[in-house]
Structure 1
Amino acid sequence: MQTREAAERFVRVWERGWAGHDVDALLELYAEDCVHRSMPFREPHRGRAELAGYLRRSFAEERVTDVRFSPPLVGPGGVAVAEFRVLATECGEPSTLAGCVFVRFDAAGAAVETRDYWHTVAGGREPTGSLFFL
């Protein structure tokens, strides 16, 4: 699978999967031995089972109202990057999560390595100065 096709599928499934907390659909995007880093100083989640646990814990208190991903930018070596923005409520309070994901795909189009950088803010807000959501 071409990287562009894999990256477009990745953001499309993540938009729907995050909005519906569909962990099984999200896991289908990943290689069995994937490595996911959710923040630079956290231990990585290795393999689909650890990733599934992380996603279920992350989704437990979150009620999503809107999820948007930018069109992915595709680079050499099976790598892509996309920004995302999620409007949600956590513990009854509105919040916005905005960030980006870096993904490396294998030849079959499965994500073998992902790294997220994200920030949250109280209330429902659009990111300012975004490269992709202008």
Structure 2
Amino acid sequence: MGFGWGIAVDAADRNTGQLTEAAFQAWLEGYKAAWENGDPDAVTALFAGDAAYRETPFRPAMQGRDEIRDYWRAGAQDAQREVSFGYEIWAVSGAVGICRWWARFQRVKDGERVELDGVFRCVFGESGEGVPLCRSLEEWWHRRTL
């Protein structure tokens, strides 16, 4: 079965409950496309219905797809342009994927150019179709103005 991002996962991988590097890469490619296209619905589709998304350790996690979608609508859809996103997978173990990521964009409201560099820790589960969905995302990042 494919993930819609061009990377197929063997049925044996799906049935073990283990996240593969290929599956994590496919998920990250979906995240990249969604952010670069300013598409909060596409980002939301990458998460389980009851997912937790923790942008910072100093605030409560967003809970569920509606809160995640609202966050992306406010923070990215109409607030950023010229977005580029990249990543490097650091580890995949069990249901957990960890990567370094980086992004650049221009803020719409003031034209400020921003660079972010951070780390994702993602815990995955499966949807009914065998596609891994993120159940928990924690991120740590730094920001600088260019």
Shorter chain as denominator, the TM-score bin is 0.7 to 0.9
SS of the residue 1:66 aligns to: strand
1:96 is paired with a residue whose SS is strand
Q: Distance in 1 between matches of 2:106 and 2:90?
A: 26
* Count of matched residue positions in the alignment of Structure 1 and Structure 2: 122
Q: Distance in 1 between matches of 2:69 and 2:103?
A: 19
User: Which protein has the larger Cα radius of gyration, Structure 1 or Structure 2?
Assistant: 2
Pair 1:88–1:50, CA change in 2 (3 A)? same
CA RMSD of aligned residues (A): 1.4
The runs of at least 4 aligned residues of structure 1 exceeding 2 Å deviation read none
Identity %: 23
Shift of 1:39: 0.5
TM-score (norm 2): 0.77
1:69 to 76, 87, 105: 87
Specify the SS of the correspondent of 2:89. Answer: coil
> Which blocks of at least 5 consecutive residues in structure 2 are unaligned?
1-13
- Cα distance in 2 for partners of 1:3, 1:38 equals 22
* CA contact 2:35–2:83 (8 Å) conserved in 1: no
Taking structure 1 as the reference length, the TM-score comes to: 0.84
Q: For the residues of structure 2 that align with 1:65 and 1:57, how far apart are their CA atoms? A: 15
Structure 2 distance, partners of 1:74, 1:13, is 17
Residue of structure 2 aligned with 1:57, choices 59, 74, 79: 74
Does residue 94 (structure 1) correspond to residue 113 (structure 2)? The answer is yes
Amino acid at match of 1:113: S
